[in-house]
Amino acid sequence: MATSQNSALLPSQAKFELKPPPYPLNALEPHMSQATLEYHWGKHHKTYVENLNKQIVGTELQGLSLEDIVVVSYNKGDVLPSFNNAAQAWNHEFFWESMKPGGGGKPSGELLDLIEKDFGSFDQFVEEFKSAAATQFGSGWAWLAYKASEKDKKLEVIKSVNAVNPLVSDYFPLLTIDVWEHAYYLDFQNRRPDYISTFMEKLVSWEAVSARLEKAKVQAAK
C-alpha cells in the first residue's frame, strides 16, 4: 500500500498517498478509456485518499496501515466515519492492480487448480464472478477471495455494497471489479454486462491474482 509511513515520520505526520496505477492512464485502451482512468483514478480515488487523510489527522487511526484502518473503522458493521474513505482508497488501489494492459486469458498453476477445485471449472468461476458483478444492485464490488479456516482453504466469489470489502470478513481478497457506475459509465453507459465481459476478457491480471494467492497462503499458515 502506498503510504508515506516511513520510519522518519512521526505517526502524527503519516498520511496516505495516491499511488498511480502500475501502467500509464491510456494503457488499458480501448477496453477502459484514458478518460475513465483520468476521472476514476484522478478524481474519485484521489478524493477518497485526500478526505481520508483529513479525517484521520489527530486521531488514533493516524499511523495505522490502510488495511488496519479499514478493519478498525468497519467496527463490525457499525461503521466509523473514516470507513468509507479508507475502504474506497484500499479498494481502488487493489482494483488498478487487478488489471493490466493485454490482460485477460486464463490463470495457470496453483491458482487454476484451486479455481477448478472450488468452482468446478474456470468457465464456471467466470460465470459466477460475472453474475455477482452484474447482480450487485446499485454501487459496489465483486470479488474473488480466499478464506482459510481450520477446516478448509477455499476460494469464493463475493459481492459487496458501496465501500465494503472482504477484508472486514476475514477473507484475503484476490481480485476485484468495481461496479459503481462511475467505473464504466463513460465507456459503457448502462451496459454493465459488457463492461464485466471486457474486464474478464481483456483486463484481468492473473499474475497479480496469483501473487496475492501466494501471499494469502503464507499469511494463512501463520
Partner 1 sequence: MAFRSLATRKTLSLGLNSTRLTQSRALQTFSLPDLPYDYGALEPAISGEIMQLHHQKHHQTYITNYNKALEQLHEAIQKGDSSTVVKLQTAIKFNGGGHINHSIFWNNLAPIHEGGGEPPKGSLGWAIDTNFGSLESLIQKISAEGAALQGSGWVWLGLDKELKKLVIETTANQDPLVTKGPNLVPLLGIDVWEHAYYLQYKNVRPDYLKNIWKVINWKYASGVYEKESA
Binding footprint of partner 1 on the chain (CB under 8 A): 39, 43-44, 47, 84, 137-140, 161-163, 180-182, 185-186, 189-190
**Nearest-approach distance from CB 216 to partner 1, in angstroms:** 28
**Nearest-approach distance from CB 140 to partner 1, in angstroms:** 8
Q: With respect to partner 1, which residue has the nearer C-beta, 48 or 199?
A: 48
109 closest CA partner among 213, 215, 219: 213
Q: Which single residue is written with the C-alpha cell 476521472? A: 39
Give a three-class secondary structure readout of 115-154. Answer: HHHHHCCHHHHHHHHHHHHHHCCCCEEEEEEEEECCCCEE
Q: With respect to partner 1, which residue has the nearer C-beta, 117 or 182?
A: 182
User: What is the three-class DSSP state of 159?
Assistant: strand
Q: With respect to partner 1, which residue has the nearer C-beta, 23 or 185?
A: 185
**Nearest-approach distance from CB 72 to partner 1, in angstroms:** 19
Q: With respect to partner 1, which residue has the nearer C-beta, 97 or 187?
A: 187
What is the spatial distance between Cα 197 and Cα 113, in angstroms, rounded to a whole number? 22
What is the spatial distance between Cα 29 and Cα 52, in angstroms, rounded to a whole number? 30
**Nearest-approach distance from CB 54 to partner 1, in angstroms:** 15
**Nearest-approach distance from CB 202 to partner 1, in angstroms:** 22
The rounded Cα 135 to chain-centroid distance in angstroms is: 18
Q: With respect to partner 1, which residue has the nearer C-beta, 57 or 161?
A: 161
Peptide bond into 173 cis (omega under 30): no
